[in-house]
Amino acid sequence: MSISSLGIPHSSSWFLEECFKYFVLGIIQGITEFFPISSTAHLKVIPEFLGWGDPGVSLTAAIQFGSILAVVCYFWKDIRVVLKGISEAFRSGYWSHRNAMLGTSLIIGTLPILLVGGYIKLFWPGYQFSQLRTLTSIALVSILMSFMLYLAERFSTRKRTITHINGFDGLIVGAAQTLAFLPGASRSGVTISASLFRGMDGISSARFSFLLGIPAIIFSGLIGIKDAINTQDSASLLPLTIGIFSAAITSWLSIDFLLKFLQKKSIMIFVYYRFFFGIFLLTWIYTNNSA
């Protein structure tokens, strides 16, 4: 039974099943949005394995709203400092202060994904059903991105921190963020990799990735919620809300865990995971003759 099916009798068993599905999808979203392993890939692959079908772009984006709540709450102090820095820079004209520079970098870094996302929304209505979202494509992208993560980990100088970020860093990392439209690429994965390539340490790369992701996830989540409300019947709204809140809780825990993890460890575990995830998926596709 597809999560997005319409016209199904709203029996109590159906309703409980939907609540459970969305709860699980929220957990998947919360863990995989901030770990560099691709939330989009796992939100498509795991439901397929469980026999639920592809939840689709709109529902995936809607559940991301839980991740928005988590990242804004977790980084609220940072957000306030950045906004204050930008405000003071407007008044004084002094844009070289690190808080104003970080804010400028985030603004510049957000522009590429807004442009690409807007283009897809306006001129590629069939994106949700394109070949990019096939399991084969997701598997191949996951394997390719595992090599990118490896190269970033291997060759990063790690001599810079988030206080050294400038507008050019924002542009480079922001351009890399557009690769997130490839299911399997991982928004956090490509932005952390790009930050490492720019010489930042692991903690700074993750923090900048998460801060840069706030505008992107907000726009994606709001559009997803609007589309989901328009396409779902009222009985599906409570399960969707459950999914959003389970995503919020697991997102907060995932952010906290990853930042503490990177204080002592490298991202190599995610390199291995992504590579073998892709290999496993290709093997499963081959043995089941599934695209």
Tens digit of pLDDT at every position of the chain (291 positions): 444 444 444 567 888 898 999 999 999 999 999 999 999 899 989 998 898 988 877 778 888 889 999 999 999 999 999 999 999 999 888 888 899 999 999 999 999 999 999 999 899 988 878 888 899 999 999 999 999 999 999 999 999 999 999 999 999 999 999 999 999 999 999 999 999 999 999 999 999 999 999 998 888 877 777 776 776 665 578 888 999 999 999 999 999 999 999 999 999 999 999 999 999 999 999 998 756
Q: Compute the distance between CA of residue 161 and CA of residue 185 in angstroms, rounded to an integer.
A: 25
Residue 160, beta-bridge partner list: 200
* pTM, to two decimals: 0.90
Distances (CA, A) of 249 to 16, 254, 286, 290: 20, 9, 36, 34
Contact 183, 44 (CB under 8 A): yes
Q: Residue 199's pLDDT is what?
A: 97
Report the pLDDT value the prediction gives residue 291, as an integer from 0 to 100.
Answer: 60
Residue type, 181: F
The predicted structure's pLDDT at residue 236: 72
- CA count, 13 A, side-chain hemisphere, 37: 24
What is the C-alpha to C-alpha distance for residues 121 and 111, in angstroms, rounded to an integer?
A: 15
pLDDT attached to residue 28: 96
Within 8 A by CB and 6+ apart from 259, the residues are 203, 206, 207
CA distance 248 to 72: 10
Distances in whole angstroms, Cα of residue 212 to Cα of each of 66, 104, 113, 225: 16, 11, 10, 21
